[in-house]
Structure 1
Amino acid sequence: MNTTETTGTETIEIPTHAQAVVAHGANDLRVEDVPIAAPKPDEAVIRIAYGGICGSDLHYWQHGAAGESILRAPMRLGHEASGTVLIGAADGSGPRPGAPVTIHPATPGGDSATYPADRPNISPGCTYLGSAAHFPHTDGLFVSHVAVPTRMLRVLPSGLDLRLASLAEPASVAWHAVARAGEVKDRSVLVIGAGPIGALVVAVLKRAGAGKITAVDMHEYPLQIARDVGADVTLTATDAGAVAAVGADVTIECSGNHRGLSSAIHGTARGGRVVMVGLLPSGDQPVPVSIAITRELDLIGSFRFNDEIDEVVAALADGSLAVDPIITAEYDVADALTAFASAKDASSSSKVLLRF
């Protein structure tokens, strides 16, 4: 059944229900019909074209949690997406119908005294589309039609297609991480973990003029992708001696594994900096902190991003951020379970997209 909306002289049909990808708990992922909420005055209805499967989506599927965010009720997944404005916001804000967009999924919040005003990404009350960090959970973008606040929308420049634009959100995570690293031009950089975020970090580093970029992973497939987007050297993670011998000025840890963080510390030169992007499991982690102390390493956290998405969209559009090789598969939303299984296998996939 559809509802109708009149825009100017055109009547547009909006379905009342649509297929969505919903996590019900650990190992319980379903493609099911969900109701489409009516838009609020400041929301536009978006026809989603592509959604990228993120590591956090995989964690919700496999473990019922992503880091400290634990599923307490069924939740629609997805925070990486692109699409087209179907119905503009009733209050006149935001882009008009027909505009191609990508989506910034964050809503900062909380007491402004408890976090730096210029870093809303770490605000304690921040909600994120497709996140179980708060309850009720915040449903995500893996659905064909969805009402989105216009402040989240970024209109795509001419020439940037919706498929590539679906990478804007994870590329912004990478862009933020590289910014947290400080000056990288002509410096040696080690990237631990060459999955989608690690590969995007390599691409951002290449664009930023980093010197020697070394990427590390367990599998050859992601290492080839890392080479395709700008890595100068690739190493297998099991070769601990070679990784430790890198002696990078800056290391960006993207594996989300305590062994990866250990390798990052060992592979960073004295006085260097380690940026921690990969989200480790909740709880204490066995890492060689004593080495970080005696080498006077800076251990820097990096979490999501702020307004970097605007720079990322521009860089994707002008081609200076080359990320095409990172997209390795596409599946229709009806085949989401197969898509998630593909995305889980890091030995044969990188970024897997859902088509809506």
Structure 2
Amino acid sequence: MKAVVVHGAKDVRVDELPVPSPAPGGVAVRIVYGGICGSDLHYATDGQNGPYRVTEPLVLGHEVVGVVAEVGAEAANAPAPGTPVAIHPATPCAPAGVTEATGLHLQPGTYLGSASTRPHTQGGFAEILEVLPRQLRPLPEGLPLRRAVLAEPFSVALHGVRRLGKRVRGARVLVSGAGPIGALAVAALKHSGAGEIVAADLQEFPLKVAASVGAGTTVNLAEGGTIEESAFDVVVEAAGAVASLTAALTAARPGGAVLQLGMLPSGPVPVAMSTVLAKELAVSGSQRFDVELDEAIALLAADESLETVVSHEFDLADAVAAFACAADSARSSKTVLRVSADPQL
């Protein structure tokens, strides 16, 4: 089978790998779509994501959906072959249908396509992926796989918004950074009852995407747009940039809240803690997601506008071009790989 493998910095290849057969308790899924995430881009460009360095060939990808191909003989409660599914990339993960926080996402474990473990946890940009039954979520009828591929990043956005609690309903919110995770944060805020949503970015294309999924106002900072100081009940930093975090602290009103949703560089970063103190800001971090996958799938099925976040689609053979597209925020939002060559899927 073919798979997208990173061998080191600026060394991404489409390799031929053995086709896995599921263990007795496992399930083999034919992957149809995979979304390229910022962590995938870091591995491809730098050979590492934060502190996690690639030390052996690593199949990338954790935002994946597909169709069950084969079920192991001892795989209890697994969906039948032919079932379209989304895949929870973490082990352990919260069971399907659970809505109360479990904290499992903060415990040691594995994540698809991650160099955080030795050996690395191989990812989902492969034609066949073996997972455990509890990682699978059957998709509702009528939800296209191309839209369902957003389930994992949308879960990340929903988890971040959940961290804000009751502050969101009716609030005036700024989302700083309108890339894929920022756009999905806009959608999560809309579905959580935010009163007004403003999206800010340095590029016009992502701002158009943010507007399509719920931002009432957009601000292009590269074209002279400005953000009001101390004017927002809630600010979501979704760019993963220190300058954006500084602007977020400035934009939040006294007594407001700032959510750090974007992944900041590893190591110390300069933050104006005097602003946090003077305004009595509530500053929260957000790590991946916990119990939000089922909610994300349900909202994706109900809200067709979310498909606008998927801006480009490439065949697996064109993975290098796909990564270049995903890295160009001026022209792309979520770039996806069509992994399976089967026209029936």
Q: TM-score, normalised by structure 2?
A: 0.92
In 2, are the aligned partners of 1:50 and 1:162 still within 8 Å (CA)? yes
Per-residue deviation at 1:241?
A: 8.2
Provide the secondary structure at the position in 2 that maps to 1:182.
helix
Find the aligned partners of 1:231 and 1:205 in 2 and give their Cα distance.
Answer: 9
Percent identity of paired positions between Structure 1 and Structure 2: 47
- Please name the residue that 1:263 is paired with: 247
Equivalent residue in structure 2 for 1:81, among 57, 64, 76 = 64
Equivalent residue in structure 1 for 2:302, among 302, 307, 318 = 318
- Please name the residue that 1:34 is paired with: 17
Change (3 A) 1:289 1:239: farther
**Are residues 1:134 and 2:117 paired?**
yes
- Please name the residue that 1:330 is paired with: 313
Find the aligned partners of 1:61 and 1:333 in 2 and give their Cα distance.
Answer: 15
**Are residues 1:229 and 2:213 paired?**
yes
**Are residues 1:164 and 2:147 paired?**
yes
Listed as ranges, the matches of 1:1-356 within 5 Å are 18-93=1-76, 94-108=78-92, 118-123=102-107, 125-183=108-166, 184-238=168-222, 242-245=226-229, 247-319=231-303, 322-356=305-339
Find the aligned partners of 1:122 and 1:323 in 2 and give their Cα distance.
Answer: 28
In 2, are the aligned partners of 1:244 and 1:263 still within 8 Å (CA)? no
The runs of 5 or more residues in structure 2 that have no matched partner are: 94-100, 340-345
- The residue identity in structure 2 corresponding to 1:341 is A
Per-residue deviation at 1:238?
A: 4.7
Provide the secondary structure at the position in 1 that maps to 2:175.
strand
Q: Which shifted more, 72-81 or 60-69? A: 60-69
Aligned length: 330
Provide the secondary structure at the position in 2 that maps to 1:23.
strand
Per-residue deviation at 1:220?
A: 0.5
In 1, are the aligned partners of 2:65 and 2:86 still within 8 Å (CA)? yes
In 2, are the aligned partners of 1:190 and 1:246 still within 8 Å (CA)? no
- The residue identity in structure 2 corresponding to 1:249 is D
Which whole-Å deviations, capped at 9, do the CAs of 1:298-338 have from their partners, x for residues lacking one?
1101010012101111111223x731110101000000000
Per-residue deviation at 1:237?
A: 3.4
Provide the secondary structure at the position in 2 that maps to 1:84.
strand
With a CA cutoff of 8 Å and minimum separation of 6, indicate the structure with the bigger relative contact order: 2
Find the aligned partners of 1:298 and 1:206 in 2 and give their Cα distance.
Answer: 21
Per-residue deviation at 1:181?
A: 1.4
Per-residue deviation at 1:350?
A: 0.2
In 2, are the aligned partners of 1:203 and 1:322 still within 8 Å (CA)? no
In 2, are the aligned partners of 1:89 and 1:150 still within 8 Å (CA)? no
Find the aligned partners of 2:230 and 2:331 in 1 and give their Cα distance.
Answer: 26
- Runs of at least 4 residues of structure 1 off by over 4 A? 238-241
Provide the secondary structure at the position in 2 that maps to 1:242.
coil
The runs of 5 or more residues in structure 1 that have no matched partner are: 1-17, 110-116
Which whole-Å deviations, capped at 9, do the CAs of 1:40-97 have from their partners, x for residues lacking one?
1121111111000001100111111112222222110000011000112321421011
Provide the secondary structure at the position in 2 that maps to 1:202.
helix
In 1, are the aligned partners of 2:219 and 2:225 still within 8 Å (CA)? no
Per-residue deviation at 1:26?
A: 1.1
Provide the alpha-carbon RMSD of the alignment.
1.6
In 2, are the aligned partners of 1:46 and 1:86 still within 8 Å (CA)? yes
Provide the secondary structure at the position in 2 that maps to 1:243.
coil
